Amino acid sequence: MIVRPIDGGVEVLAPAKLNLFLEVLSRRPDGYHEIESLMVSVNLHDTLIVREEASEDIILECDDPELPTGGDNLVVKAAERLRAAAGIRRGARMTLKKVIPARAGLGGGSSDASAALVALDRIWDLGTPPDRLDAVAGEVGSDVPFFLHAPSAVCRGRGERVEAVTLGRPFHFVLVAPEVGLSTAEVYHALRPPETPRPIGPVLEALDGEDPAPLGRSLFNRLQPVAEAMRPELARVRDALAGLDPPLDGSLMSGSGSAYFGLCRDLDAAERAADNLKPLGLGWVRVVTCGP
Ligand SMILES: C[C@](O)(CO)[C@H](O)COP(=O)(O)OP(=O)(O)OC[C@H]1O[C@@H](n2ccc(N)nc2=O)[C@H](O)[C@@H]1O
Ligand SMILES: Nc1ncnc2c1ncn2[C@@H]1O[C@H](COP(=O)(O)OP(=O)(O)OP(=O)(O)O)[C@@H](O)[C@H]1O
């Protein structure tokens, strides 16, 4: 997350995430699922501008007319939770410029919420201790704490228990976000957790070394077949990535979908892959990078 002071406030760049590995361990009595996931943030950002407001109102403007701007927006929810946790009644005026597609498994809303927490903590001068900010983030959504600890981490529990990991090198991806989006709750609801969960060890070992191929072979997402059964048209995106010539090092759906990413040997290969995918009309195509 990049935080910049601006005239009278703060501007935050809120990154998208990819899940390079996502296993679902069990369904919990509260309806959530225990997961184990390797998440990385990538250089695709929404921008959130936050200024203090003279009134006690929390006001959000957003350039995407499809998104709510009231309490249903995760940015507003984050502001309200932070204010309640701090026991204050201050106001804020926020402007959100969306780039990250919604309902794509790229964590856009969660990242925006985390950006709001960081910005408001600053402009309200709260000095919230990190573990308290983590707790507020976890109340807003399971993916929100990750973005306080990005750029890369293993996330456990319902996603809110975050353990940072270091990437020794950058990885380059081609990203495809189809028009059709998916509801996270519906995808989890349709899943039956496996009897024998897949271990996360191999994907973590594959992060070391110069060759991206071992990482490509260990990409895994338990939610992918569930999402593809719900939206059979996603198979076209999956098959287009798998069938590219020259072949990619691997490909996967991110989170609960519906975006897919392909792991590429280097930036040139990612740009070539994007050029080959764009004419197919599968959706929105970008090249993104994670790591140092
Ligand atoms: C799919 C992922 O994006 C992978 O990173 C996350 O697990 C989802 O995280 P998120 O969007 O922040 O999810 P939340 O807003 O906390 O939850 C939305 C809904 O998804 C389901 N949900 C979410 C997380 C989780 N570990 N188990 C679940 O079953 C629940 O039905 C919940 O009501
Ligand atoms: N700031 C926001 N940006 C995007 N969506 C938001 C935001 N606030 C609330 N939402 C709602 O959340 C839903 C999808 O959010 P988001 O784009 O974060 O999903 P996602 O990419 O599938 O995320 P995740 O990977 O965390 O499940 C939409 O129904 C949208 O209306």
Distance CA(95)–CA(101), nearest Å, equals 17
Task: Please tell me whether residues 285 and 153 are part of one structural domain.
Answer: no
Task: Please tell me whether residues 50 and 24 are part of one structural domain.
Answer: yes
Mean pLDDT throughout 196-201? 97
Distance CA(209)–CA(211), nearest Å, equals 6
Cα(272) to centroid of ligand 2, in Å? Answer: 29
Cα(184) to centroid of ligand 2, in Å? Answer: 9
- The reply to whether ligand 2 has any atom less than 6 angstroms from the CB of 9 is no
- The reply to whether ligand 2 has any atom less than 6 angstroms from the CB of 102 is yes
Q: How many CA atoms lie within 13 A of 28 on its CB side?
A: 10
Q: What ligand 2 atom has the least distance to the C-alpha of 96?
A: 1
Q: In CATH, what number is assigned to the domain containing residue 200?
A: 3.30.70.890
Per this entry, what is the length of the chain?
292
Contact 182, 105 (CB under 8 A): yes
Distance CA(76)–CA(127), nearest Å, equals 20
**Cis peptide, bond prior to residue 246, ω within 30 of zero:** yes
The ligand with the least distance to the CA atom of 160 is: 1
Task: Please tell me whether residues 7 and 84 are part of one structural domain.
Answer: yes
Task: Please tell me whether residues 220 and 269 are part of one structural domain.
Answer: yes
Residue type, 268: D
User: Which residue in 175, 142, 140 sits closest to 20, CA to CA?
Assistant: 175
Contact 114, 1 (CB under 8 A): yes
pLDDT value at residue 168: 86
Predicted confidence (pLDDT) at residue 210 exceeds the cutoff of 90: no
Is residue 60 a known part of a binding site? no
**Can you say how many angstroms the Cα of residue 267 is from the centroid of all Cα atoms in its chain?**
21
Give the total number of structural domains in the chain: 2
Cα(209) to centroid of ligand 1, in Å? Answer: 32
What would the two tokens of residue 200 be? 């996360």
Cα(185) to centroid of ligand 1, in Å? Answer: 6
pLDDT value at residue 150: 82
Task: Please tell me whether residues 22 and 135 are part of one structural domain.
Answer: yes
The mean pLDDT value of the chain amounts to 96
Task: Please tell me whether residues 279 and 214 are part of one structural domain.
Answer: yes
Predicted confidence (pLDDT) at residue 26 exceeds the cutoff of 90: yes
Name the closest-CA residue to atom 9, ligand 2.
73
Q: In CATH, what number is assigned to the domain containing residue 146?
A: 3.30.230.10
Is residue 269 a known part of a binding site? no
Output phi, psi for 67, to 5 deg: -95, 145
The set of catalytic residues is 17, 143
Cα(142) to centroid of ligand 1, in Å? Answer: 6
Task: Please tell me whether residues 15 and 159 are part of one structural domain.
Answer: yes
Task: Please tell me whether residues 17 and 155 are part of one structural domain.
Answer: yes
Is residue 223 a known part of a binding site? no
Among 164, 181, 204, the domain-final residue is 164
Task: Please tell me whether residues 22 and 6 are part of one structural domain.
Answer: yes
Task: Please tell me whether residues 49 and 113 are part of one structural domain.
Answer: yes
- The reply to whether ligand 2 has any atom less than 6 angstroms from the CB of 112 is yes
pLDDT value at residue 209: 81
**Reported pTM:** 0.97
Distance CA(20)–CA(3), nearest Å, equals 26
Contact 11, 47 (CB under 8 A): yes
Among 164, 198, 224, the domain-final residue is 164
Task: Please tell me whether residues 146 and 247 are part of one structural domain.
Answer: no
Task: Please tell me whether residues 144 and 233 are part of one structural domain.
Answer: no
Distance CA(235)–CA(233), nearest Å, equals 5
Identify the sign of the CA torsion 161, 38, 107, 47: positive
Tens-digit pLDDT profile for residues 116-155: 999 999 999 999 999 999 999 999 999 999 999 989 999 9
> In b/e form, how buried is each residue of 32-57, taking b as 16+ CB within 10 angstroms?
bbbbbbbbbbbebbbbbbbbeeeeee
- The reply to whether ligand 2 has any atom less than 6 angstroms from the CB of 104 is yes
User: Which residue in 71, 75, 164, 163 sits closest to 112, CA to CA?
Assistant: 75
Is residue 104 a known part of a binding site? yes
DSSP 3-state of 256: coil
pLDDT value at residue 215: 95
What would the two tokens of residue 231 be? 């939206």
- Domain span holding position 86: 2-164
Tens-digit pLDDT profile for residues 57-97: 999 999 999 999 999 999 999 999 999 999 999 999 999 99
Among 95, 129, 164, the domain-final residue is 164
pLDDT value at residue 175: 98
Name the closest-CA residue to atom 2, ligand 2.
109
The ligand with the least distance to the CA atom of 193 is: 1
